[in-house]
Structure 1
Amino acid sequence: MFFKSKWDPRGRHCYVTGGSSGLGLALAVLLTKKGAHVSIVARNEERLQKALETLEAARQTQDQVLKYYSFALNSEAGAVAAIEAASEAHGGRSPDAFFFCAGKSTPGFFVEQDEASMRKGMDETYWAQAPSALAAAKRMVSRREKGKLVFISSVLGYFSMIGYSPYTPGKFAIRGLAEALQSELILYDIDVHVAFPGTILSPGLEQENQVKPKVTLKLEETDDGYTPEVVAAGVLKGVRNGDFHITYELLGHIFRASTAGSSPRNSYLTDIFYGLIGYVGLPIWRRSVDSTVRGHRPEHEEYLSARGFFTGTTSESTK
């Protein structure tokens, strides 16, 4: 157990969804630099073309197969078509590793959501990855192929807070799917990993912050975040080490160790250490978060009043 060999992407076919920007592109570049054959998949063909140019600049050998594919991946049919297309360049063999990086965040207050926006939140998170995982698993199992499925959840798949009700249910669902598949796909020698990155400094974050509630921005003001390249390196390190839950910085390690339940552990010794920190520190941190939220009440009342949210009636509990 102390000297197991690390997974090496060199010469393997790695399939990356959401590969035209952000973490997906950073992972694709890193895998290219490691000598992998890389297929990137997203909807926007113009961005995919630019991303492929970036991959070509990182090429290590002339033998590497670097390609992009434009598909919508929010349905099983689209996911199947994308994987079939990517497999054609490799003699029909399925990719050796699937990295599911597609997804986005649209924060907001829960009371301002409706059914359509809540479903959209699941579409942008869970349904951005689940169909590809289903298509990949079915294909590999039916062809008796081995490989890896790598999900991207979020550190907000371990906990949540104000402003993230449209987003975190999907990230918790991704963790739940990964937990189930880690157990089930043992039947077929298919490895499953799920990463829990924190704030990623990307164009997606800039868009997210435009609609993020002020109180959420305040709670995150000390979070410097990490570049996509740093996060990609952390994710790939975890995959190479064979970790199931992948975290790469202190806060992620603490939440992982504190909420792992019966999930396979990366290291019992270090998890005891991080778990003790979490046992003492996380309740204190949470109290500070809740205190900040309570302090935001007057401003929030004004915000909702300005938007005509209140009906004009006052319940006994709010008098």
Structure 2
Amino acid sequence: MALGLYWATACLAAFIAVLTLDISRFFSRKNHFDVDGKTVVITGGSQGLGRGLARLLSSKGANVVIVARDQPKIDIALKYTASAAKSPQSQRFHGISADVRSPEENTRLLEEVTRWNDGQPPDIVWANAGSSHPALFIDTTLETLRSQMDINYWAATYLAHATLRLWLKPSSTPSNTGSSYVKPAQPRHFIITGSSTCFVGVAGYAPYSPAKSALRSLADTLRSELNLYNGYRRANPQQGPVADVKVHCVVPGTIQSPGLAQENLSKHPVTRVLEEGDPIQTEDEVAAAAVKGLERDGYLITTQWLGHAMRAGTLGGSPRNNWLFDTVSAWVVNVAWLYIGPDMEGKVFKYGKSNEVKLPS
């Protein structure tokens, strides 16, 4: 009995030690997202998370292109971004005013970036544009439901479609050749900014969370499909695409930003009840967590503890960032959800029971 207890304790200690090392990426310290000298396009880059990302990537040596609709805001964001440059003498910065809800605008902005980038496509494209209009489903007009899908799903989808068609051209095509052209050793990255609302249905986010859930599904599908082209490139380096392509989905929670102030104008009180105690991060904190996840080769990247827990409990067929941590976390979260789920539903029920609820006329 004592011997068995000894070995059980030893195995548990070894498991915890390995888990701790694995979580800290002790076994893999390679930077999988080195942006030094790379050209990065960020949509929705003039404020909020986009602005934080632009500044952080600038500090790591990237050439940054900010895309947004408001040119004066773009100009301010460019100065803010350039002020953090790692190598001010060599880094370049550019702004493009575009409405990414239009497929033609996404094609145009990539063409402009390619011309600005000495005839070469960007190395990294970050589909970050989006906005949230929280409200109860029946209180939301059909026009708003459609516009939320346009900016939060279709804008990223149009950009993904145009970017991948550009990146997956054969290396022998004119756009990928030239006397000074060197085949990239590093993969290209397409990154989608989602939301932790894609993991859990929350009363009051019906106009917004379905679009973000669709983005997660799109990212899963693109990740699977890109294996086809990456595999072909490995077998046919002269005829295949210039570089491997990787897809990532970053899913932050609440961000302290101008967008949050706008959200709060339409947010239902019951949604505020459900969000009580949720962590709120600054744009810089989210940007740092997102880039750190990319440097660790993460795929579905959360940025704070609540998002980590939500992701672990709803991974389904999505790839694991860390098989050991994700598996153990999923066990814990699935047990915890036996209490969390009923508690959240009970709060909504209690609110309806205790307050006047607007009904459709």
Unaligned 5+ runs, structure 1: 311-319
Per the alignment, residue 49 of structure 1 pairs with 75
1:101 aligns with 2:128: yes
* Residues 298-309 of structure 1 mapped to structure 2, 5 A cutoff: 298=353, 302-304=356-358, 309=360
> What is the CA–CA distance in structure 1 between the aligned matches of 2:35 and 2:47, rounded to whole Å?
21
Per the alignment, residue 36 of structure 1 pairs with 62
TM-score by length of 1: 0.92
* Aligned partners of 1:49 and 1:68 also within 8 Å: yes
Per the alignment, residue 226 of structure 2 pairs with 185
Unaligned 5+ runs, structure 2: 1-24, 177-186, 231-243
Per the alignment, residue 27 of structure 1 pairs with 53
Q: How many angstroms does 1:166 deviate by?
A: 0.3
* Aligned partners of 2:279 and 2:306 also within 8 Å: no
Instruction: Please tell me the residue identity of whatever aligns with 2:215.
Output: I
Write the deviation string for residues 84-139 of structure 1: whole angstroms up to 9, x where unpaired.
Answer: 11121211211111111100000111111232221112012102311111111111
Q: How many angstroms does 1:3 deviate by?
A: 3.6
Per the alignment, residue 256 of structure 1 pairs with 311
Write the deviation string for residues 289-313 of structure 1: whole angstroms up to 9, x where unpaired.
Answer: 111111111455x3416xxx34xxx
23-32 or 263-272, larger mean C-alpha shift: 263-272
> What is the CA–CA distance in structure 2 between the aligned matches of 1:63 and 1:193, rounded to whole Å?
28
SS of equivalent to 1:195: strand
Q: How many angstroms does 1:275 deviate by?
A: 1.0
* Aligned partners of 2:61 and 2:85 also within 8 Å: yes
* Residues 1-319 of structure 1 mapped to structure 2, 5 A cutoff: 2-3=27-28, 5-6=30-31, 7-61=33-87, 62-142=89-169, 144=171, 146-186=187-227, 187-188=229-230, 189-298=244-353, 302-304=356-358, 309-310=360-361
* Aligned partners of 2:36 and 2:62 also within 8 Å: yes
Q: How many angstroms does 1:219 deviate by?
A: 1.4
> What is the CA–CA distance in structure 2 between the aligned matches of 1:275 and 1:250, rounded to whole Å?
14
SS of equivalent to 1:266: coil
148-157 or 253-262, larger mean C-alpha shift: 253-262
* Aligned partners of 2:45 and 2:68 also within 8 Å: yes
> What is the CA–CA distance in structure 2 between the aligned matches of 1:282 and 1:206, rounded to whole Å?
30
Q: How many angstroms does 1:245 deviate by?
A: 0.8
Instruction: Please tell me the residue identity of whatever aligns with 1:78.
Output: E
User: Taking CA–CA contacts closer than 8 Å with sequence separation of 6 or more, which of the two structures ends up with the larger relative contact order?
Assistant: 2
* Aligned partners of 1:109 and 1:162 also within 8 Å: yes
SS of equivalent to 2:66: strand
Instruction: Please tell me the residue identity of whatever aligns with 1:20.
Output: S
Per the alignment, residue 14 of structure 2 pairs with none
> What is the CA–CA distance in structure 1 between the aligned matches of 2:28 and 2:48, rounded to whole Å?
33
Aligned length: 306
Q: How many angstroms does 1:32 deviate by?
A: 0.0
Instruction: Please tell me the residue identity of whatever aligns with 1:304.
Output: K
Per the alignment, residue 316 of structure 1 pairs with none
Write the deviation string for residues 20-43 of structure 1: whole angstroms up to 9, x where unpaired.
Answer: 000011001000000111111010
Whose Rg is larger? 2
TM-score by length of 2: 0.81
* Aligned partners of 1:84 and 1:92 also within 8 Å: no
* Aligned partners of 1:105 and 1:124 also within 8 Å: no
SS of equivalent to 1:27: helix
SS of equivalent to 1:296: helix
Aligned CA distance change for structure 1 residues 67 and 224 (closer, same or farther; 3 Å): same
> What is the CA–CA distance in structure 2 between the aligned matches of 1:63 and 1:27, rounded to whole Å?
19
Q: How many angstroms does 1:73 deviate by?
A: 0.8
> What is the CA–CA distance in structure 1 between the aligned matches of 2:82 and 2:298, rounded to whole Å?
29
> What is the CA–CA distance in structure 2 between the aligned matches of 1:60 and 1:119, rounded to whole Å?
41
